Amino acid sequence: MKTQVGIIGAGPAGLMLSHLLHLEGIESVILECRTREEIESTIRAGVLEQGTVDLMNEAGVGDRMMREGHLHHGIELQYSGIRQRVNMHELTGGKSIMVYPQHEVIKDLVAARLEARGEIIFGVSDVGLHDVETNSPRITFLKDGAEMELACDFIAGCDGYHGPSRQMIPASVRNEKKQIYPFGWLGVLAKTPIANPELIYANHDRGFALISQRTPEIQRHYLQVDPTEDIANWSDDRIWSELKARVETDGWELPDGPIIQKNIVSMRSFVCEPMQYGRLFIAGDAAHIVPPTGAKGLNLAMADVQVLKRGITAFYQSGDMNWLNHYSEVALRRIWKAQRFSYWMTTMLHTNFNHTSFERSVQLSELDYVTSSRAALTSLSENYIGLPFEWEKERSLQI
Ligand code: RFL
Ligand code: PHB
């Protein structure tokens, strides 16, 4: 088999890249180890930045999101039992976020690729990358027991944190920077009505809690737990009583109901520099991980592939490798700002049980400052809603 761009992974990064390349008349093939049913049902992110919403619409895949997603103009921050709304719409000059689940984004992108007769090969195994430092890289894989090979001009490694692509950047070139947090998130999907019009991020002596939403009937909530905690220790009753203890205020009650899914994820920050080697370019979680507190992971994946698409398009239009040569440098500027923001939100909102009483008081004072200073609220809003994309364009033009 032969194509222009071989893409490993049908997550948000791989699917959006393939779709954007198609709109530029560039061919790609996506290799995905899971089935279509699996990728379309895995529960992950929920918040789309303004830039991701704009991208979905500009790329012609935003119709269902605009119909079924929930536009939010702000969030609520809670600490010491006091809740305050952050009017992000007003603070950012009219921008918003969209609450629309990641697996719905996946469904929309898969449908668009298949409708345009794009090739996604599901259920592959033993994916291997070869000759990435040459102009003729190849990907080998197994499909239904048969050995296959995909020859291409470029490989896009969009295979998430555990995929094989990143490992192809030689260890002598690869610089991996990471931070592990002593926090885990217990996430639940529950059959209840929407608890609150906007998301609630709550700091509490017992630990952080996040009240989010999915549909009018099903909601998504999170509790800070020890990352080594066993989910078997968390009965539905215990989860509800802990959520209520952390988020309920005088006169505001959290609706409860049957929990239909629960799991625990640990939190880390991770960046791989550079994000390219020869004809291999890695994007999304394959290159970086953020703790979910800032809601940036999916949005960063979408940002990366826009930079990558621009580079690949420039190459096919004029043979110019300059934009591609600067892919990693351009993408990393946004990534580090998102890392900074996610780290800040995580440390400001979670309870660190190893902290001294002095450190806890400084943390509460930071929350007091952030919720009372217009400058701080503006900075929080600008970062949460997503830094503007014009910046990447301007920066690239200076190359
Ligand atoms: P993905 O989604 O992991 O997709 C990678 C794909 O590659 C496939 N793959 C392979 N295919 C072939 N061969 C191999 N050897 C392969 N190895 C892997 C996988 O099957 C998969 O289909 O990466 P991508 O595209 O970079 O997208 C990243 C996002 O999925 C991720 O950053 C977000 O989900 C993070 N995240 C959030 N991001 C947000 O922007 N807003 C949020 O509100 C938000 N909340 C969250 C989150 C992540 C969470 N978890 C589960 C860590 C909340 C949580 C709890
Ligand atoms: C979610 O709804 O899954 C969600 C929302 C906000 C976050 C993280 C996850 O910061």
CATH number at residue 148: 3.50.50.60
Can you state the angle between helices 327-349 and 374-385, rounded to 10 degrees? 130
Cα-to-centroid distance, 96 and ligand 2 (Å): 15
User: How many angstroms separate the first and last alpha carbons of the chain?
Assistant: 35
Residue with CA at minimum distance from ligand 1 atom 46: 45
Does the residue 368 lie in any domain? Answer: no
pTM confidence score: 0.96
In the prediction, which pLDDT does 389 show?
74
Question: What is the pLDDT at residue 16?
Answer: 98
Task: Tell me if 42 is assigned to some domain.
Answer: yes
Structural domain count of the chain: 1
Residue 364 belongs to a domain: no
Q: Residue 295: CB within 6 Å of ligand 2?
A: yes
- Tell me which residues are annotated as active site: 72, 201, 292, 296, 384
Asked if residue 101 has its Cβ within 6 Å of ligand 2, the reply is no
List the domain range (segments joined by +) for residue 103. 5-71+97-177+268-353
CB contact set of 236 (below 8 Å; sequence gap of 6+) = 258, 259
Q: Which amino acid type is present at position 359?
A: E
* Ligand 1 center–CA 301 separation, angstroms: 9
Give domain status of residue 191, yes or no.
no
Is the distance from the beta carbon of residue 187 to the nearest atom of ligand 1 less than 6 Å? yes
Q: Would you say 68 and 100 are in contact if contact means Cβ atoms under 8 Å apart?
A: yes
Ligand nearest to the CA of 187: 1
Dihedrals φ, ψ of 210, to 5°?
A: -130, 125
**Angle formed by the axes of helices 357-372 and 327-349, nearest 10°:** 110
Q: Looking at the domain assignment, is residue 81 inside a domain?
A: no
Is residue 390 included in any domain, yes or no? no
Q: Whose CA is nearest to atom 15 of ligand 1?
A: 163
Task: Tell me the CA–centroid distance for residue 286 and ligand 1, in Å.
Answer: 9
Best mutation site among 65, 104, 285, 307 for ligand 1, i.e. most ligand atoms within 8 A of its Cβ? Answer: 285
Ligand 1 contact, 15 CB (< 6 A): no
Verify whether ligand 2 is closer than 6 Å to residue 187 (CB atom). Answer: no
Which atom of ligand 1 approaches the CA of 159 most closely? Answer: 7
Nearest CA, atom 7, ligand 2: 295
Does residue 198 belong to any structural domain of this protein? no
Quote the CA–CA distance of 71 and 106 in Å, as a whole number. Answer: 19
* C-alpha 39 – ligand 1 centre gap (Å): 10
Q: Which residue has the tokens 């990641």?
A: 102
- At residue 393, the pLDDT reads 62
pLDDT of residue 43: 85
- Residue 35 placed within a domain: yes
Q: Is the CB of residue 47 below 6 angstroms from any atom belonging to ligand 2? A: yes
119-121 and 28-31 beta bridge pairing: parallel
pLDDT < 70 positions in the chain: 390-399
376 alpha carbon to ligand 1 midpoint, in Å? 30
* Closest alpha carbon to 97 in 341, 374, 338, 296: 296
Q: Verify whether ligand 2 is closer than 6 Å to residue 102 (CB atom).
A: no
Query: Residue 2 has what DSSP assignment?
Result: B
Crossing angle of the two packed helices 390-397 and 297-318, in degrees rounded to 10: 40
Alpha-carbon dihedral of residues 295, 291, 273, 340, nearest 10 degrees?
Answer: 70
For ligand 2, atom 4, which residue shows the shortest CA distance? 46
Distance CA 49, CA 61 (A): 15
The alpha carbon of 212 and the centre of ligand 2 are apart by a number of angstroms equal to 6
